[in-house]
Structure formats: C-alpha cells, structure tokens
Structure 1
Amino acid sequence: MKLNRKWVFGILLVAALVVGWWMFSKKPTPAPIAMATPNIATYKITAGGSAGMTSFDGVVESVRQSTIAAQVAGNVVQIHVRAGDRVRAGQPLLRIDGQAAEQAAIAARAEYERQVMLYNKKYISKAALDQAKVQMSAATAQSGFFLIKAPFSGVVTDVGAKLGEMAMPGMPLLQMFDPSSMRVSAQVPQSQLAQVPSSATARVELSGMTDANQWLVPASMEVLPAVDARTHSGTIRLLLSKTNVDLVPGTFARVWMELPASANPATPTIWIPAAAVVRRGEMNAVYVKSAQGVFLLRQVRIGQSQGDKVQILTGLSADEEIAIDPQAAASAESESKK
C-alpha cells in the first residue's frame, strides 16, 4: 500500500509539472492593433433653406401627335413610309384601293356636266342642278379618302397597316408626331398641387443628364385645373423650348422645382463642396464617414451649382460627414481593406 501511494504521488507530481510547463510556455496572443484613422478633412452636412428641390416623375409628349385612321373600306395597295421617316405636310403616306370610288366620281362629274347642259336649255330646274352638284362633290370627296396624306410635318412613329390588308373605317393605319413642339406632363400629389404656381422655377431632367447644368429649362408651365379621383393627383404640363436633344414621346422625364418648405418639409436643402464629388462616367458619389471612422463611397444625385458648392438632391442626410478630399479618402479605404 505504501508503494502504491508513492507511485500515485509521483504520477500526480509529474502531471502537475507538465501542465505548469505548458501554461507558462504558451505565448499570449497579441491584442489586435486598431488602425489609426488618417487625418482627412471632413465636411459636416447641414440642411436648411426656405425651399427645397422636389421631383415629380413625368413623360415626354408631343403637343401634336396623331393616329391616322381609315375613313373608307378597301385593300391597302401602297405604303410610302416606314417608322422613323420624316414627312412633310400633305405628303402621301399610303393608298387604299379606290378604283370603284374613282369611277363613281368620274360618273358623278359626267352626270353633273350633263345636268348643266340641260339646265342651260331650260329642261331642268335649278334644284335638280344643285342636287347633281352635291352628288358630284360627295363622290369626289369620297375618292380623296383613299389617298392618305400627312396632316402636318413630323415623324412617323408606327405603321400598323400592311400591304394587301383590308382597311375598314376607323381602323388605325399609322401614327406620327411633330418634334418641333414637345412638352412634359407630370403628376403632382394633391397636397402639393396648390403650392405649384405657374411661374415656379422648374427644370426637366432626361435620361443620361447627370449634371443639373444639362437639365432643360421649359418655356412655360401650366397646371391643369382638375384632380384624378383615383390617384388624388393633378397634372402639370411644361412646354419645352427647342433644343439639340432628340426628344421622343413616351420617354421618362423627371421634373425638378423649388417648392416652399411648407409644401415639402421632409426634403431640406443640402449643399456640399463641389470638390468632394467623385464623378465616374454617369455616376456621382461622395466618401461618407461611417460610425467606425471608415470612409465609404456612396452614390448621390447632384443638382444646381453655386460657386464652389453643389446641391445634393438625394443620397445624403443632415449631420453626416463626408471627405473633402476624395483621393485621400480612397487611399484610406484601400488601406483599411489590406
């Protein structure tokens, strides 16, 4: 028993020595070293102003656009235009087979001339002559409906008729619009409609216009005196001045205008240094300082420019901090990812 106790004591002593050696020989894991945030100048965003820029979605329209329909029945025998062609007022667009109508017009004219001869010889009354003249005019007008001409100068947008197809009265044949007179129609919520005077300063943004300096200035604006009962919104129309931009009906547009703060309290005006904006193609962005002190690139939409400041329409909020030097912020972002 004494021998067994010595062996047990020895084993325990060796185990204690091994555990102690293992604990003291293990090197402590160094604590992570926090990277020092570079000393980058920042700009704290403040919002204010008595008016803010508000946007409304709209669509480009032509003041004069027309769907030309058939007025008589007959087969389509000639089509002179295609979609995208520019045409002059009075230019032939297509022809419907009107041989029967032309023959009827010739016969009506011959009958009228015969009635004139009879009237001159006192064989018929003036009323009979007038009736023959009315019939001739009606037959001549009917024959004119078979040749479809452009009602105004413009661009053909669609040709729905096909050669050999039977056209019926009221059937759409083609569509066209006048590109010299364009406008934008936008829907405005009823709560803001009363705050949109006809003299309000408005700008029109089209696809691809990343800079507010490219926005179009409308020649005039009108507020239609009606509200849609389903959407509770009204319509504003902005007549566009002639521009080098090719405008196509149906194109998406965004209308920007300054409204009083009472009409748009949720959208304050934000201005930042223009040098803080990073421009990459059609994208505008700024480096925003996060809560961890890291600068992250965020896309923004810019508005008007005043001196060395640029207006931010969307993408930033009050009390956020942005980097004044985008290159320094980009370098700091790259270092933080290593």
Structure 2
Amino acid sequence: MNTKTTILKKALYIIIPLVLIAIVVIKLKNNKEITQSKVYQYDKEQAINVQADTLQIENVNAEFYYSGTFEPNKETKISAEIQGKINVVLVDVGSVVNKGQSLVQLDNSLLKLQMQTIEVQIEGLEADVNRYTILAKADAIQGIQLEKSELGLKSAKVQRATLLEQINKTTIKAPFNGVVTAKLSEEGAFAAPGVPLLQITDITNLKFTVNVPENELSQFKLNQKYSLSADAYSEILLPGKTTMIGSKANIGSSFPVQFTVNNTSDLKIKSGMFGKVILKTADQEKGIIISASAIVGTANQPQVYLIKNGKSVLQNITISKKIQNKAIASNGLNEGDVIVTNGFINLFDGANVTVK
C-alpha cells in the first residue's frame, strides 16, 4: 500500500506540471491569435488613393512668388520730455498728422506764472543796468555795481530761456508725417518722461521682407527693382527696391531680403498686411514644371511616382532649377505623364493606385 501511494505521488508530481505547462501554452497561443486578429494587416494588393497631376510643357519664364509682410518705414511711441498733467489730446486713433503738428497739450500754467516773475525781474534789472551805466560814466558809483547788475540780467535771461523751453515742451508735436495707430493716455492723466502717450506710424513708405533659401538667394541683387503686391489688393502692383540682403541665416536656414516700397496715394497698404514679391525667370524656354511636393527620394537623386496602368512607378528625374515650391524637370519626365502629388502614405513602387 505504501509502495502504491509512493508511485502515485511521483506520477502526480510529473503529471501536474505537464498539465500546467500545457494550459499555459494553450493560453499563450490563444492570446497570440487574438492579438494578431486585432493588429492591422496591410494588404499590399489594395489600391491606394492618391492625387495626381498630368504634366504639360509650360513656359519656364513663369512667375514665382515669395510671400512676406509689409512693415512701416517709421514707427515710434511718443512720450513727454517733462512731467505734467495732460490738459487735452488733440488727435485720436486714425488721425493723419504732419511733422510739427501739435498732438498733446500739458498743463503749463505754473510755468507761465514763473515766466511772468522772470519778466518782472528782467524789467527791473534792465532798469538798474541803464541807471548804473549812467552813474558809472559820471563816476558816481563803483564799476562793480554795474557788473553785478549786468550779470544778474544775464542770469535772469537764461532762466527765461529755460522756462520758455519748458513751456514749449508742454506742447508735444509729431516728429514726422504719419498716422496715429495707438492712443495710450487720456485727458487728465499724468505725463512723465518715458511713459508713452501716442504711437505714430509712417506708412507712406513701407518695408517688405521675405525669407529666401540660400540656393535661391542669387536671384536678388541690391538696389534692383521688383514688382510687389498686397494679398488684399492683388490687382495693384507696387515697385519695390532691394535695400537689404541678409548676411545671417535664420532658424529655417533662409535669409531675409528686404525691399522699400512707396504706398499708394490713399495709403491702401497697411502695416502688417501680407503680400508677395513677383519674380520672373529670365530664360525664354519651355519645360516641365512640377510641384516640389511631388518629389521624393534624395537631394542627389530626386524621384517621382508615375502612374502607369493603375500602378505606381518610381521614376528617377533630374532637376535643373528650384524656385520656391516649384521645380523644373530637365530629364526623366515627358509631356502627358501622370505623377502623384499627394497621398504618399503606404505608397511604394508597383502599388495599385486610384486617383481621387
């Protein structure tokens, strides 16, 4: 009996682990099958939706655009040079002002009273000088008394000039022609040096800045004229002259190019508007122009996907020139070819495709 029990126990020690291992294996297999059933299995035979373009031979001297922003030629925040209460603000936002025009009047009543006091002192000192001059000529007084009166008169006149300058500074004037673009204070407020009261913007002349990739920077020369337009008034062409070509690249590895532009007579172009500088290639040729977004591959070996018989075909091409978002293909493409321009996700050479 003990022998049978011992054998049975040994058998159980072997069978139970084997059963547990079998259960674990079955469970793992079932989990794997469930996981695989949930994982997306890409069907390479399934047609991929793409956008395409049929190529045509076009004039290579087409127009290209660089987008940018118009900025004011001059803009400043005006503050008082002396302290004082604001009696009146003579302009409002949108007011067109001329250089030297009065904009803000500060309280100057105390300064004017001081001026009256100085005028009285000067009047008395002038009388003393005249009287002492006569007496000094007659040797009735010492010459030092005349000298003191003359020095006192000069000092009083300096004080008068100082007060006159302070009174003049209570009238704040426009430093240049422009438009009031911000009113930062009101009547009754207190003005102090460095505290802005108004903002004046000159938009009779504008600056226009675009960012140009380094391989296209050679298209711009200093002091050359180009045509510009504002997006809001695309029908109006404005002549602009290149005044600055950046010497340091920005974060996007492009260089700023700045133009000066004369605004329209009615100042239609506003600061902050978006616009374009129009660039025409000088070559009078015909060629195939494709969108830069259609190009795949590398910079050394650009490629595009052709669509032939419902399938994508990876085609090597040669790019002779890139201008902004366009490229001129000199080899590898023919008129009538259909190329993929969008929908590259999961696209590969030989994939079935459908054009949206």
> Residue 174 of structure 1 aligns with which residue?
198
Aligned residue for 1:222, secondary structure, equals strand
CA shift, 1:224, in A, is 5.2
**TM-score, structure 1 as length reference:** 0.56
Given the alignment, which residue of 95, 100, 121 partners 1:111? 121
Given the alignment, which residue of 180, 189, 195 partners 1:165? 189
Given the alignment, which residue of 45, 50, 75 partners 2:85? 75
> Residue 257 of structure 2 aligns with which residue?
236
Aligned residue for 2:175, secondary structure, equals coil
Please say if residues 187 and 236 of structure 1, whose CA atoms lie closer than 8 Å, have aligned partners that are also in contact. yes
User: Unmatched 5+ residue regions in structure 2?
Assistant: 1-52, 133-145, 291-305, 311-322, 338-354
1:138 matched to 2:158? The reply is no
CA shift, 1:47, in A, is 6.5
CA shift, 1:160, in A, is 0.6
Distance 2:117 2:211 in 1: 56
Given the alignment, which residue of 271, 274, 278 partners 1:252? 274
Which deviations, in whole Å up to 9, do the C-alpha atoms of 1:165-198 show, x marking residues without a partner? Answer: 2221111111122333333233445665455212
Distance 1:121 1:226 in 2: 72
Which one has a bigger Cα radius of gyration?
A: 2
Cα distance change of structure 1 residues 79 and 70 upon mapping to structure 2, 3 Å threshold: same
Which deviations, in whole Å up to 9, do the C-alpha atoms of 1:69-126 show, x marking residues without a partner? Answer: 1111122221221101122333322222222222223323333333333333343354
> Residue 45 of structure 1 aligns with which residue?
56
Aligned residue for 1:223, secondary structure, equals strand
Cα distance change of structure 1 residues 257 and 165 upon mapping to structure 2, 3 Å threshold: same
> Residue 208 of structure 2 aligns with which residue?
184
Please say if residues 225 and 242 of structure 2, whose CA atoms lie closer than 8 Å, have aligned partners that are also in contact. no
Q: Superposed, which structure 2 residues align to 1:213-232 within 5 Å? A: 214-218=236-240, 220-223=241-244, 226-227=247-248
Please say if residues 68 and 275 of structure 2, whose CA atoms lie closer than 8 Å, have aligned partners that are also in contact. yes
> Residue 325 of structure 1 aligns with which residue?
none
> Residue 112 of structure 2 aligns with which residue?
102
Distance 2:273 2:94 in 1: 16
Please say if residues 86 and 155 of structure 1, whose CA atoms lie closer than 8 Å, have aligned partners that are also in contact. yes
Q: Superposed, which structure 2 residues align to 1:2-81 within 5 Å? A: 44-46=55-57, 49=60, 55-81=65-91
Distance 1:131 1:248 in 2: 52
Q: Give the AA of the match of 1:68.
A: I
Please say if residues 201 and 257 of structure 1, whose CA atoms lie closer than 8 Å, have aligned partners that are also in contact. no
**TM-score, structure 2 as length reference:** 0.54
Please say if residues 88 and 153 of structure 1, whose CA atoms lie closer than 8 Å, have aligned partners that are also in contact. yes
Q: Give the AA of the match of 1:168.
A: A
Please say if residues 102 and 172 of structure 2, whose CA atoms lie closer than 8 Å, have aligned partners that are also in contact. yes
Distance 1:110 1:86 in 2: 42
Please say if residues 183 and 237 of structure 1, whose CA atoms lie closer than 8 Å, have aligned partners that are also in contact. yes
Cα distance change of structure 1 residues 92 and 293 upon mapping to structure 2, 3 Å threshold: farther
Please say if residues 180 and 201 of structure 2, whose CA atoms lie closer than 8 Å, have aligned partners that are also in contact. yes
Q: Give the AA of the match of 2:183.
A: V
Distance 1:193 1:164 in 2: 54
User: Unmatched 5+ residue regions in structure 1?
Assistant: 1-41, 262-267, 272-289, 295-311, 323-335
Please say if residues 180 and 242 of structure 1, whose CA atoms lie closer than 8 Å, have aligned partners that are also in contact. yes
Which deviations, in whole Å up to 9, do the C-alpha atoms of 1:45-72 show, x marking residues without a partner? Answer: 24685x7865444322332333211111
> Residue 220 of structure 2 aligns with which residue?
196
Q: Give the AA of the match of 1:45.
A: Q
Please say if residues 76 and 163 of structure 1, whose CA atoms lie closer than 8 Å, have aligned partners that are also in contact. yes
Aligned residue for 2:238, secondary structure, equals coil
Percent identity of equivalent pairs: 23
Please say if residues 214 and 255 of structure 2, whose CA atoms lie closer than 8 Å, have aligned partners that are also in contact. yes
Aligned residue for 1:132, secondary structure, equals helix
Distance 2:206 2:77 in 1: 17
Distance 2:288 2:190 in 1: 60
> Residue 172 of structure 2 aligns with which residue?
148
Distance 2:219 2:328 in 1: 24
Please say if residues 53 and 269 of structure 1, whose CA atoms lie closer than 8 Å, have aligned partners that are also in contact. no
Q: Give the AA of the match of 1:179.
A: I
Which deviations, in whole Å up to 9, do the C-alpha atoms of 1:137-165 show, x marking residues without a partner? Answer: 11111112222222333321111112222
Aligned residues: 239
Q: Give the AA of the match of 2:177.
A: S
Distance 1:247 1:182 in 2: 9
